[in-house]
Structure 1
Amino acid sequence: MRQALSGIVSKSAFPLKTIMILAMAMTFVVADVASSLAAKSAAIVVDAKTGKVLYSANADGRRYPASLTKMMTVYLTFEAMAKGKISRNSPVVFSAHASAEAPTKLGVKPGGSVAVETAILSIVTKSANDSATALGEMLGGNETNFARMMTAKARQLGMNGTVFRNANGLPDPGQFTTARDMATLGIALREHFPQYYGYFAQRSFLYGRQRINGHNRLLGRIKGVDGIKTGYTRASGFNLVSSVNDGNRRLVAVVMGGTSGGSRDNQMAGLINTYLPRASTRGGGDLVAKADSNAISALAKVLLPKHDAPTPDEKPAAVAEADTAVADDATVAQGDSEDEDTAEAEAPKLVVPAKKVKTVIVSAPKVATAQIVAAYAEPTPVVDPVNTASVPPGWAIQVASSPKQSEAQAFLDKTIKQAPKVLADASGFTVAFDKDGATYYRARFGGFGSKDAAWKACTALKKKKIECYAVQQ
């Protein structure tokens, strides 16, 4: 380097000492920029069976969630479905505000509606901002109220470093989270709503005659990845929460502040490959306490901070850019120079065919949101809240009951070994219920499409001297 600089000096008016000082200054500038970018990133890997943190980097630093916000929107939607307040076929009406949200979006016109299931699928695949807002307005009456519900639920789940301002994650300087909190939410979604969790594994779905593909390129690329959510705005960088289940081990990993979709995906793949073998094959009970308390009454305890609340670490220099940045997975047409589509070119092509899901566009009168909010606020007794495994809605069979979840899980494992063919397409899970003030756990297998299929499986199990009966979920 000195020889090169000497050559430059011989042709310039600057002395060698001056050029050496300039070179050192440039080195420090580059180092400062690299340090700033590194500070913006955050990551965590959690063993989803034991709760042990296997890897952590800036996990408690404030970050903009971008569309990871929608994980909480979906959580509250699942909760309303589980309590019977809404169903998969309930119409979600799009207000003028919801329809006007920035892309990416489903594109429903004001006054139009889709089924709840369609709204969920559009969120977990396309990351539709309009669908998230419409669901928020449906469940909360308005988006501001729904944001309070989201923050209240975050506190109940132990997410103490998170504040939500909207349902979709569009830029708001008062909305922030941490990598650790997002890992908690990712674990809670699977533990608390296994009957709906399968939506996160969806890589595409049919909307009318249009096939809509998802943004999560790790689905089908990394073995065992079954969701959960991508996120991107200019202010946040590229975010990703991934859940991994190889049958024996489970992880939830979070990467935030990636510089591109491809680098973020590669970082996540590296974390999974490194830490999945280190995860435990045995685990205890639930890692995240299920928050069944009244979400509406909890609003009084959660006052959103003023709009000038402290923002995430390494706040972008141009706040105006953060405020005008378009949605997660935004397109170049909206002015972003880097978006989720970049990852598609950088990541290997998926070879697993997308699962087809038929959806129906619903035309329905406007939903009485006040009635939904009132219904949502009604105290609902805990009846069979599901706590583990991923199973679709439908019929299930129960094979045991125990005061300890570990015993119920052990019975599930034993039953699968005794009748692997009978339960080849079933998913085992435990269901908590209260009896005389004590909590018990039912051991069940779900995934049966009809009552006859469930009873047929029970008959086969009884021949192996395994008691069982069919129940509808």
Structure 2
Amino acid sequence: MRPYNPPYAHIVVDSTTGRVLYQSDADRALYPASLTKVMTLLLTFEALESRKISLGSSVVFSSHAANMPPSRLGIKAGKSITVENAIKALVTKSANDVAVAMGEKLGGSEARFAQMMNLKARQIGMSQTHFENASGLHNVRQVSSARDMAKLAMYLMNSYPRYYHYFSLREFTFNGKVNRSHNHLMSTYQGMDGLKTGYIIPSGFNLIASAKRGNTRLIGVVFGGKTANARNAQMANLLDAGFAGKSLRTENLSPPPTTKLSQNTILTLAPPSKPASVPEQKQTASLLKKPTMTADVGSAGLTRTFAPTPSAQQLTGAGTWSVQIGAYQDRVSTDQAIYRALKTLPAPLNRGSAMVIPLRTSDARWVFRARIGGYTRTEALKACQYLDDCLTVAPNAN
């Protein structure tokens, strides 16, 4: 039987300027594996910064979290660890049980946390990314790209520099056991001080790495290494070329040829929320089609077709109330409004379901209504007390 060759992609970016130095299939939708945990950590840092949690806060493990497959820390259901130990376990051991427990703490459930992850991804501008879980365990719907992961790393480092030092941990001791980092390249590559590895069989060996030499900091992303050593060698080759400003040589490497881009190619994050042009009818019509998704894990990589947001009843079930917090001319603004509202609402109101409801106006334009659903009438009324320009929406209303 022929060995499986995972689909490959990479990108190297100057993190200060955003200039893309090298890329190969950087927008290809692939499986992120445990690179997913960088988003889980980002939302953890965000909660710390807003003082919703502290490093000493308890992270309690549900039976769902405790039963995650390896890699895991092995905490029993009902037991807890601190947020800081959770961060260390995610960075070093890449513990799946810890990722789920952290997601449940921040979102109330892993499914709800995945919604938060997707909203944040859209805010950052990760256009090829969709999350289904907090850990990166295989799910055919959970995909990202090298470019998106570089955006995520840049955003995390720029927004929460005080927490970046956790990614440089070489080991983490817990209950007398030493858990060593999976990122062995940090020990051998000059200037490397983070970030995160990832591996599942369909993805191959993935890596986000950041290294600084002099005044230059580079971020590299590799998807689809055949082995951990091959991935590390490719990352070192990419970063060496970036620091030296040379054309990349890929002899004896399995990935496809690399393209060096002009200096005016810039990796940018999503712009601030603002009104955009109204989507054309042709574009919006696809928004209303039945959800479809295909995935082909072969040499051609993944092909995705994401359907639009389901109807209100599909999201929350018939007979539940929702709140509407605005109507917008583009999806990015709509998603960001929902994200801000969910951050504003206290528990348990912040565990509602995010909903985007398209509406065609009388002048043949489209708007997207931002709603949060799954409430009783009393809960909906209470939620509106915390939100500006908020309307309650009765069950089965349009």
Which interval holds the TM-score relative to the shorter structure?
A: 0.5 to 0.7
The correspondence of residues 76-95 of structure 1 with structure 2, limited to 5 A, is: 76-95=43-62
User: Residue in 2 aligned with 1:111?
Assistant: 78
User: Residue in 1 aligned with 2:239?
Assistant: 272
- Find the residue that maps to 2:242 and give its secondary structure: helix
Aligned with residue 134 of structure 2, among 159, 162, 167 = 167
Higher helix share: 1
- Find the residue that maps to 1:219 and give its secondary structure: helix
Aligned with residue 128 of structure 1, among 74, 91, 95 = 95
Structure 1 residue 229 and structure 2 residue 229: aligned?
A: no
Deviation at 1:289, TM superposition (A): 5.7
- Find the residue that maps to 2:223 and give its secondary structure: strand
Deviations 1:288-339 (A, max 9, x none): 469899xxxxxxxxx9x9996233663899xxxxxxxxxxxxxxxxxxxxxx
User: Residue in 2 aligned with 1:259?
Assistant: 226
CA distance in 1, matches of 2:63, 2:115: 21
Structure 1 residue 240 and structure 2 residue 207: aligned?
A: yes
CA distance in 2, matches of 1:173, 1:111: 30
Which of the two has higher C-alpha Rg? 1
- Find the residue that maps to 2:112 and give its secondary structure: helix
Unaligned 5+ segments in structure 2 are 247-265, 275-286, 302-344, 353-398
User: Residue in 2 aligned with 1:309?
Assistant: 293
- Find the residue that maps to 2:187 and give its secondary structure: coil
Structure 1 residue 204 and structure 2 residue 171: aligned?
A: yes
- Residue identity opposite 1:50 in structure 2: T
Deviates more, 1:219-228 or 1:120-129: 219-228
CA distance in 2, matches of 1:46, 1:217: 21
Deviations 1:382-403 (A, max 9, x none): xxxxxxxxxxxxxxxxxxxxxx
The answer to whether the Cα contact below 8 Å between 1:139 and 1:373 also exists between their aligned partners in 2 is no
Deviates more, 1:207-216 or 1:116-125: 207-216
CA distance in 2, matches of 1:214, 1:311: 31
Q: 1:76 to 1:217 in 2, by over 3 A?
A: same
The answer to whether the Cα contact below 8 Å between 2:202 and 2:297 also exists between their aligned partners in 1 is no
CA distance in 2, matches of 1:166, 1:105: 15
Q: 1:128 to 1:159 in 2, by over 3 A?
A: same
Q: 1:216 to 1:371 in 2, by over 3 A?
A: same
User: Residue in 2 aligned with 1:192?
Assistant: 159
User: Residue in 2 aligned with 1:429?
Assistant: none
- Find the residue that maps to 1:218 and give its secondary structure: helix
Deviations 1:48-88 (A, max 9, x none): 11111111111111100100000100000000000000010
CA distance in 1, matches of 2:236, 2:59: 36
Deviation at 1:209, TM superposition (A): 1.6
The answer to whether the Cα contact below 8 Å between 1:46 and 1:251 also exists between their aligned partners in 2 is yes
The answer to whether the Cα contact below 8 Å between 1:50 and 1:287 also exists between their aligned partners in 2 is no
CA distance in 2, matches of 1:307, 1:78: 33
The answer to whether the Cα contact below 8 Å between 1:69 and 1:168 also exists between their aligned partners in 2 is yes
Deviations 1:91-133 (A, max 9, x none): 0000000000000000000000000010110000000000000
Aligned with residue 184 of structure 2, among 209, 217, 224 = 217
CA distance in 1, matches of 2:292, 2:202: 16
CA distance in 2, matches of 1:186, 1:214: 18
User: Residue in 2 aligned with 1:100?
Assistant: 67
Aligned with residue 74 of structure 1, among 20, 38, 41 = 41
Equivalences, count: 278
Deviation at 1:210, TM superposition (A): 1.6
CA distance in 2, matches of 1:291, 1:194: 21
Deviations 1:241-288 (A, max 9, x none): 001112310111001011001100010011111112339xxxxx9954
Q: 1:66 to 1:57 in 2, by over 3 A?
A: same
The answer to whether the Cα contact below 8 Å between 1:106 and 1:130 also exists between their aligned partners in 2 is yes
Identity %: 45
The answer to whether the Cα contact below 8 Å between 2:20 and 2:267 also exists between their aligned partners in 1 is no
User: Residue in 2 aligned with 1:392?
Assistant: none
User: Residue in 2 aligned with 1:16?
Assistant: none
The correspondence of residues 281-320 of structure 1 with structure 2, limited to 5 A, is: 288=269, 309-311=293-295, 314=298
Scaled by the length of structure 1, what TM-score is found?
0.54
C-alpha root-mean-square deviation of aligned residues, in Å?
3.1
The answer to whether the Cα contact below 8 Å between 1:144 and 1:166 also exists between their aligned partners in 2 is yes
CA distance in 1, matches of 2:143, 2:50: 28
Structure 1 residue 42 and structure 2 residue 14: aligned?
A: no
- Residue identity opposite 2:150 in structure 1: A
The answer to whether the Cα contact below 8 Å between 1:89 and 1:117 also exists between their aligned partners in 2 is yes
Scaled by the length of structure 2, what TM-score is found?
0.64
The correspondence of residues 345-360 of structure 1 with structure 2, limited to 5 A, is: none
CA distance in 1, matches of 2:63, 2:75: 10
CA distance in 2, matches of 1:267, 1:51: 21
Unaligned 5+ segments in structure 1 are 1-29, 280-284, 294-302, 318-369, 378-473
Q: Which runs of 4+ in 1 moved over 4 A?
A: 289-293, 305-308, 370-377
The answer to whether the Cα contact below 8 Å between 2:59 and 2:101 also exists between their aligned partners in 1 is yes
Deviations 1:380-425 (A, max 9, x none): xxxxxxxxxxxxxxxxxxxxxxxxxxxxxxxxxxxxxxxxxxxxxx
